[in-house]
C-alpha cells in the first residue's frame, strides 16, 4: 500500500484508512514523499512538523511517515531502518501514558532526524527528546495513569527479574498504580493476580507491550547490562515512591521523618 503513494502528486490517489482505526489523511504520505523529493532536488534539509491537540493522532502520524520513508528509501528494512522504527516503541514505553482522552498519550516532545546519503538512501538517524512531564511521576488525574513502563515492568517481568528488583503486586506501590489494566496482563503476569484493583482496558496491554519493548531493545542492540540498568532505575522510582514523610513534634520542635 505504501508504494502506491511513492512519487505521486497530491490529490491523484484517494485517502487510505490505516489499520490502526485512525483516519489518517492521505496527504501525510504525499507530504513525506514531497519532502524527500525536494531534498533530493534542492540538496537541502527538509522538516515535517506534526502538531495538534491531545488525541489527534500525532504519534501515529509520525510512525506512518517514518515507516513510509524507511520502506521507500531504506535498504529493505535493514538494521538502520528497523532501529529507527523500533525507537518509537522504547520512547513510548518510557514517555507515554494513559490520559482521559488518549490511551497512548506522548508526555514529551521529540525531534527526529533521518539522515540520507547523496544517493537518497537512509544511512542513519537521531532522536532528541525534551519537556518530559515529570510531575506525572508523583500524581495523575482521575482515570489517568503513570508512564507505561511502570505497568509494563510489573506485568512483564519474569519471576527471576521480579524477585531481583523486589517487585510485588502493583497496589503495593504508591507512585503509579491506583489504576491498572489489560485482560492479557492478568492472565500472564504472576504478580497481578488481584481482585478489582485495576481498570480493564483492552487497548493497553502491558504484558504484550513489555515483550515488544524487549524485542525493540534487542533490535537496536541494547546490551543486557544497559537494559537491566534501566529496569533497576524504574524499580527504584517505584520503591522510592513508597517513602512516607510525616511531621513529628519533638518538644517544641518539629521534624520530618
**CATH number of the domain at 2-133, out of 3.40.850.10, 3.30.450.40, 3.40.50.1970, 3.30.750.24?**
3.40.850.10
Confidence label for 4 from pLDDT (cuts 50, 70 and 90): low
Is the pLDDT at 15 greater than 70? The verdict is no
**pLDDT for the residue 183:** 43
pLDDT in tens, 93-127: 999 998 888 889 999 999 999 999 999 999 999 99
Instruction: Tell whether 109 is in a known binding site.
Output: no
- The rounded distance, in Å, linking the Cα atoms of 209 and 191 is 16
Instruction: Tell whether 118 is in a known binding site.
Output: no
Containing 97, the helix (H) or strand (E) segment is strand 96-97
**pLDDT for the residue 205:** 84
End-to-end alpha-carbon separation of the chain, Å? 61
**pLDDT for the residue 257:** 55
Residue spans per domain, the chain:
2-133, 135-240
Can you say whether the dihedral through the CA atoms of 34, 40, 41, 45 is positive or negative? positive
Is the pLDDT at 22 greater than 70? The verdict is no
**pLDDT for the residue 11:** 52
Q: What is the mean pLDDT of residues 202-219?
A: 86
- The rounded distance, in Å, linking the Cα atoms of 222 and 73 is 25
- Grid cell at residue 195: 481482585
**pLDDT for the residue 153:** 93
Instruction: Tell whether 32 is in a known binding site.
Output: no
Instruction: Tell whether 216 is in a known binding site.
Output: no
pLDDT in tens, 33-90: 899 999 999 999 999 999 888 888 888 889 889 988 888 887 666 788 888 889 999 9
What does pLDDT average to over the chain? Answer: 79
Instruction: Tell whether 59 is in a known binding site.
Output: yes
Higher pLDDT, 103 or 181: 103
Is the pLDDT at 24 greater than 70? The verdict is no
- The rounded distance, in Å, linking the Cα atoms of 197 and 136 is 20
Can you say whether the dihedral through the CA atoms of 213, 217, 218, 219 is positive or negative? positive
Total residues found in the chain within this entry: 257
DSSP state of 164: H
Instruction: Tell whether 55 is in a known binding site.
Output: yes
In which residue are the cell numbers 524499580 written? 235
Instruction: Tell whether 61 is in a known binding site.
Output: no
**Is residue 63 within 8 Å of residue 110, measured between CB atoms?**
no
Amino acid at each position: 500500500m505504501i508504494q502506491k503513494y511513492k512519487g505521486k502528486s497530491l490529490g491523484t490517489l484517494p485517502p487510505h484508512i490505516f489499520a490502526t482505526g485512525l483516519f489518517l489523511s492521505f496527504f501525510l504520505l504525499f507530504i513525506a514523499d514531497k519532502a524527500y523529493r525536494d531534498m533530493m532536488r534542492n540538496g537541502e534539509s527538509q522538516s515535517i512538523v506534526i502538531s495538534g491537540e491531545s488525541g489527534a493522532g500525532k504519534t501515529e502520524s509520525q510512525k506512518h511517515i517514518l515507516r513510509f520513508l524507511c520502506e521507500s528509501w531504506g535498504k529493505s528494512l535493514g538494521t538502520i531502518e528497523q532501529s529507527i522504527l523500533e525507537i518509537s516503541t522504547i520512547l513510548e514505553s518510557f514517555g507515554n501514558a494513559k490520559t482521559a482522552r488518549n490511551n497512548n498519550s506522548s508526555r514529551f516532545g521529540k525531534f527526529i532526524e533521518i539522515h540520507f546519503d547523496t544517493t537518497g538512501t537512509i544511512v542513519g538517524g537521531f532522536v532528541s527528546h525534551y519537556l518530559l512531564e515529570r510531575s506525572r511521576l508523583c500524581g495523575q488525574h482521575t482515570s489517568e495513569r503513570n508512564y507505561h513502563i511502570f505497568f509494563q515492568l510489573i506485568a512483564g517481568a519474569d519471576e527471576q527479574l521480579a524477585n531481583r528488583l523486589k517487585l510485588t503486586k502493583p497496589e503495593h506501590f504508591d507512585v503509579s498504580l491506583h489504576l491498572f489494566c489489560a485482560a492479557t496482563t492478568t492472565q500472564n503476569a504472576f504478580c497481578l493476580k488481584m481482585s478489582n484493583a485495576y481498570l480493564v482496558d483492552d487497548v493497553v496491554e502491558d504484558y504484550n507491550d513489555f515483550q515488544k519493548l524487549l524485542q525493540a531493545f534487542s533490535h537496536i542492540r541494547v546490551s543486557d547490562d544497559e537494559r537491566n540498568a534501566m529496569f533497576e532505575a524504574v524499580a527504584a522510582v517505584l520503591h522510592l515512591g513508597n517513602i512516607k514523610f510525616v511531621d513529628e513534634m519533638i518538644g517544641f520542635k518539629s521534624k520530618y521523618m
